[in-house]
Amino acid sequence: MKTATEIRVGIVGLGTVGQGVIELLERHGPFFARELGVNFRVAAACAKEAEALARVRDENCLKTSDPMAVASAPDVDVFIELAGGEDGPKPWHEAALKSGKHVVTANKALLAKHGAELFPLAAQQNRCLFFEAAVGGGIPIIKTLQEDLIANDIEGLACIINGTCNYILTQMSRNGSSFADALAEAQRLGYAEANPGFDIDGMDSLHKVALLASLIYGRYVDYRKLSVEGIRNVSALDIRMADEMGYEVKLLGAVSQKDGKVLAAVYPAMLERGHQLASVSGVLNGVYLKASAAGAQLFTGAGAGRYPTASAVISDLVALARQKSTGNPVPFPMAFFSKDNEAELLSIDELETEFYLRLTTVDKPGVLSKVTGILGDHGISIRALSQKPEHDPANVPVIILTHTVKNAKVAQALKLINALDVVSAPTRVIRFYR
């Protein structure tokens, strides 16, 4: 029997996902040795808690609370970072790459912010920086874009890529819950943090969308230059109206290209109930894309969690093992994540779609004529308008659906509409996605 090649792994972060990685490596170790000829050994582990370190059973494993000790350890072949954080882990990644290690990470915030430096560094060192677990958890979307769809132009991508937001919106749709109640339930179940802003304001989704856009078009997309809107202002009325029209409201990441320029953004969107993405509910994630040769594709699954994320981490380890056996350490170009190769971006103002507008007005004659007059002046055609009953005459909901129009025209019109003395609250906007 052929002797298995040992690949020594160093793990920083032994929380839920880190423990999952160790468990799966132990569970499937005999299979990897037999079928792949590889023995993955946890040679170094880093955690703040001694209890977590004690769960690593290998007596020869370096156990430390210092991430740099793992990054610089001479007997580690692959550095795995599962600690999280935008800035703190960057020196660890740099040290690991410069010392000749491959890197596997689940840290989308780090890559979105510092990927333009880290990916070129990996390329310079002829080492891999893999991140399957950073986008979509257990969904194999990164390798799909890098390898399986390499012969395709991606004509457009839409994704539900944050489980917290998807759970909240699903609860509001299924149970008629308010946003506040649905958020509280998500927090009770552990689907949302005590401070949920990073999720519900769309930043988590934005980081992932920027990485996907960079992969799709082979140019660096800076998330800081993209438009983002969260779900704080989505109301039970909006959800009810969507349901009556045959739509689901989702927090959507959308990516497209026009004339060589990239349009990427995150915003609440109306999806027709028949759209493949509309069925992605609860804490699940989904990625929908249109490929020039393969056609429409939907990838869905758990976007977070112990074993789904650990599964993605180990898929990267296995990919590294296979490359080692073939003598090709870098399977795809990474240097295009460089500031020297930054994508030219289109503003969300250039987006053309239909709009759902929810105005809050006072109950007075002439209100609707003022509003429709402004919309008409900006070339915005109305396809439906309704006034909803409300006990408070100072806060009457008015729902307007537009025909296809540029985002810029709607934004300009709403500045004037929201300034009217008969409009008692900012107008809420939800875009349609077709």
Q: Which residues are designated catalytic?
A: 208
CA quadruple 263, 336, 159, 231: dihedral positive or negative?
A: negative
Exposed e or buried b for every residue in 113-134, given b needs 16+ CB within 10 A?
bbbbebbbbbbebebbbbbbbb
Cα 223 to Cα 148: distance, rounded to the nearest angstrom: 25
How large is the greatest C-alpha to C-alpha distance in the chain, in angstroms? 88
Cα 408 to Cα 414: distance, rounded to the nearest angstrom: 10
DSSP state of 292: T
**Is 113 within 8 Å of 88 (Cβ atoms)?**
no
| Cβ atoms within 10 Å of 171's Cβ, excluding its own | 22
261-272/129-130 β-pairing: unpaired
Instruction: Give 352: exposed, middle or buried? Use CB within 10 Å, 0-12, 13-18, 19+.
Output: exposed
Cα 73 to Cα 59: distance, rounded to the nearest angstrom: 16
Looking at residue 170, its amino acid is T
Q: Phi, psi (5° rounding) for residue 274?
A: -80, -10
Q: Phi, psi (5° rounding) for residue 353?
A: -160, 180
Cα 198 to Cα 230: distance, rounded to the nearest angstrom: 9
5-12/78-81 β-pairing: parallel
**Is 271 within 8 Å of 247 (Cβ atoms)?**
yes
Q: Phi, psi (5° rounding) for residue 245?
A: -90, -5
> By C-alpha distance, which of 79, 135, 140 is closest to 109?
135
Q: Phi, psi (5° rounding) for residue 256?
A: -150, 175
Reading the block at residue 329, the tokens are 């350490």
Cα 135 to Cα 71: distance, rounded to the nearest angstrom: 23
